Structure 1
């Protein structure tokens, strides 16, 4: 099956405000939330420095900011379980510089304000106002309904492997373009992608810097929402195929089934 992105997404005209100049109130409120002892990135500055010296930093970046200088990070491995044995037992976390993290947090807060309007009801993770517990509750409710009606079902659970690390930048940008995100916003995200570089930090020693050609970095405030937007493409394709009867089963996506049964 081949789907045209123009058929899957209807562009919206109410997203232009995403690129409005960030207000003093937005910036000041975010400054107060910076933890003083947060682990610093390659620039070595922690939250305490950013808070106390913000008037100097803000003046320095008032006219223009070179993301190529700011957009680098240390990658450190955090164990997923008590006794890790292989590389897959670790989660790579990016320790970014506070200046860049501050910028992407401002963008993430703006994006969070419209995310409910642009993604489907099947998406729960990383979205304010929705919780993964809702999805679990619906799953148990659907299973209970099938047990009561003696209906035979097959439940298929899929998991993204290395989800943040493997998603393509072009997929995210294409989805946002077809959703109607303004070109200026797309340029911001593209610039963040293209200027990103990372260095592996192992036993306190940093390695050789390399460019990040795909994936979104764990530790970047904007990454979860960018991943949600990229995953929305798969969600739309699945929903469209389900509605057209092109799937080899009658059910995929709990919210969709429960809605159809009402």
Structure 2
């Protein structure tokens, strides 16, 4: 009888309080959304008006597209569960004491960190525009726009324009062409397309502090198309200024060519390998130095001004927990995630290396191998190391970057030593004898850890939700890259290669031991096929035949095998009494 029953609908005072609270929450929420300040900047410019009109039309078009609810595909389900088991799910920000940061405090710390890094230059950080000559800089053709649309990643995150990249094929080409023609005519890009949406990603652990995150720029979808067109125009001018020893972000080059050059030049006892490290190189490049280098390429004024326009009055909007921090202006640094960023950084590094060559005495003999901001220098005389370090540090400072000498690593080749020392470059452990044994051991440890995590992952998924094909391709994609990375380029001995292929076969056999349709010979054949002198791609690693066809070989599933004994050219299986004859020069080695 003493229980009080509350009737919210008939309590005007309480109902009014809840209404006011809900209204204030809505105002606070919308005040931090990006659309609050997007339509007010340069609203009278023709390019801005054209873009806002196109944006509204595209949003209306995409709103009419029926929403399809897709159940999680098995590949994605397996991968998400593997990341959870591996502790790589999401990003949680914490303070120095290990306590979780609330979203508002996390946004504040992220904004402060990036503002200190990106907004410390003065107002004259970018040179003036270049005057265009008559008839210079024609707008992109329909073919060029179609090529740019085709090159756009459909799985990329959505930028500030709110247009999902998965709908890029449904954007009318004629509408994009009209906008680009207007941008080329006025040499001006709408600020709403230039502004940067930035999200943090972890460097290593998914639970980390703000300082251990890496900012990634998420450009607008339409801006990606425009920048792809610009990139096609400026690439020949930039490539002409790059150096032969630069391997990153270039057609026909990559980690494989960089490692090949390293092992070609590093082979004489007494040589010293010097690894230099730049701290936050992309984020600290000076804009004045960047555009001075860009101007020296002889780039047409139209393209130069369009690149320059993306760094003028560009606002940075940091997103965390679906809301944005207070924006600030970008005054230094190259935008990671932008289509043009890698080419621009390569250009800066090429000019910096040429300045290093000019300042280092000619009698100092050394070779440099460059991959983005990673530089490996091979020195014949150890007495010249300090000179090289000091010159590189000075030139980095001239471009606004900082060389972290605490992370500088040295390795001197000594084939007769008994003390093994190692350094890591491009993810590879290099030792002072170049016998690659530490790298082989590290690969085997990583592969075994990956196999264990994958086995634990599969146990958490009901068998009815995981097809045999998905399980097989997942196991190959998780385990094999640890063992087969740069398989051809690294000079492993035949014994080392045999050891790693044996381990690959063993781990796959163990992980796939209860999978129907998988045979011992299938796994062995797959591992052998992808290690025939070529560095396999991820797609090749995951293309294991998931069902053995009937042929002259006995079809024996791994689930039926328990004990293998090598006898000449055959392997006897005790449980079934059958013999499987492996291909010539192959190795069969399974473990329970």
TM-score bracket for this pair, using the shorter chain length: 0.7 to 0.9
Aligned length: 235
Q: Judge which range, 217-226 or 68-77, deviates more.
A: 68-77
Question: Per-residue CA shift, 1:14-72, capped at 9, x if unaligned?
Answer: xxx99443221111122234344532111211124443232334435542454323211
| Residue in structure 2 matched with residue 166 of structure 1 by the alignment | 284
SS at match of 2:278: coil
**Inter-CA distance 99–181: structure 2 relative to 1 (3 Å threshold):** same
Paired with 1:169 and 1:71, the residues of 2 have a C-alpha distance of 16
**Inter-CA distance 31–235: structure 2 relative to 1 (3 Å threshold):** same
SS at match of 1:193: coil
Paired with 1:143 and 1:75, the residues of 2 have a C-alpha distance of 40
After superposition, where does 1:48-197 map in structure 2 within 5 Å? 48-54=166-172, 55-64=174-183, 66-144=189-267, 146-147=268-269, 152-197=270-315
| Residue in structure 1 matched with residue 331 of structure 2 by the alignment | 213
**Inter-CA distance 209–236: structure 2 relative to 1 (3 Å threshold):** same
Paired with 1:73 and 1:86, the residues of 2 have a C-alpha distance of 22
| Residue in structure 2 matched with residue 230 of structure 1 by the alignment | 348
Q: Judge which range, 47-56 or 154-163, deviates more.
A: 47-56
Paired with 2:136 and 2:359, the residues of 1 have a C-alpha distance of 32
**Inter-CA distance 244–217: structure 2 relative to 1 (3 Å threshold):** same
**Inter-CA distance 119–75: structure 2 relative to 1 (3 Å threshold):** same
In the TM superposition, what is the alpha-carbon distance from 1:167 to its structure 2 partner?
A: 0.5
SS at match of 2:319: strand
Structure 2: 5+ residue runs without aligned partners? 1-134, 371-376, 379-592
SS at match of 1:63: helix
In the TM superposition, what is the alpha-carbon distance from 1:114 to its structure 2 partner?
A: 4.1
Paired with 2:344 and 2:136, the residues of 1 have a C-alpha distance of 14
**Inter-CA distance 180–62: structure 2 relative to 1 (3 Å threshold):** closer
Paired with 2:245 and 2:170, the residues of 1 have a C-alpha distance of 42
TM-score normalised per structure 2? 0.37
In the TM superposition, what is the alpha-carbon distance from 1:80 to its structure 2 partner?
A: 2.0
Structure (1 or 2) with the larger CA radius of gyration: 2
Q: Judge which range, 36-45 or 78-87, deviates more.
A: 78-87
Paired with 2:206 and 2:179, the residues of 1 have a C-alpha distance of 45
Question: Per-residue CA shift, 1:127-160, capped at 9, x if unaligned?
Answer: 112223222222223222x13xxxx232211122
What's the C-alpha RMSD, in Å, of the aligned pairs? Answer: 2.8
Paired with 1:19 and 1:162, the residues of 2 have a C-alpha distance of 34
In the TM superposition, what is the alpha-carbon distance from 1:243 to its structure 2 partner?
A: 6.0
After superposition, where does 1:11-22 map in structure 2 within 5 Å? 19-22=137-140
TM-score normalised per structure 1? 0.78
Paired with 1:153 and 1:36, the residues of 2 have a C-alpha distance of 46
**Inter-CA distance 23–60: structure 2 relative to 1 (3 Å threshold):** closer
Question: Per-residue CA shift, 1:221-261, capped at 9, x if unaligned?
Answer: 1010011111122111122234634xxx5324159x99xxx
| Residue in structure 1 matched with residue 436 of structure 2 by the alignment | none
Paired with 2:149 and 2:317, the residues of 1 have a C-alpha distance of 27
| Residue in structure 2 matched with residue 31 of structure 1 by the alignment | 149
Paired with 1:212 and 1:227, the residues of 2 have a C-alpha distance of 17
Kindly report structure 1 stretches of 4+ aligned residues shifted beyond 6 Å: none
| Residue in structure 2 matched with residue 253 of structure 1 by the alignment | 368
Question: Per-residue CA shift, 1:146-195, capped at 9, x if unaligned?
Answer: 13xxxx23221112211111111111111122232233332222111113
Q: Is residue 18–residue 185 contact of structure 1 (8 Å, CA) maintained in 2?
A: no
Q: Is residue 242–residue 250 contact of structure 1 (8 Å, CA) maintained in 2?
A: no
Paired with 1:18 and 1:84, the residues of 2 have a C-alpha distance of 51
SS at match of 1:76: strand
Which structure has more relative contact order (CA 8 Å, sep 6+)? It is: 1
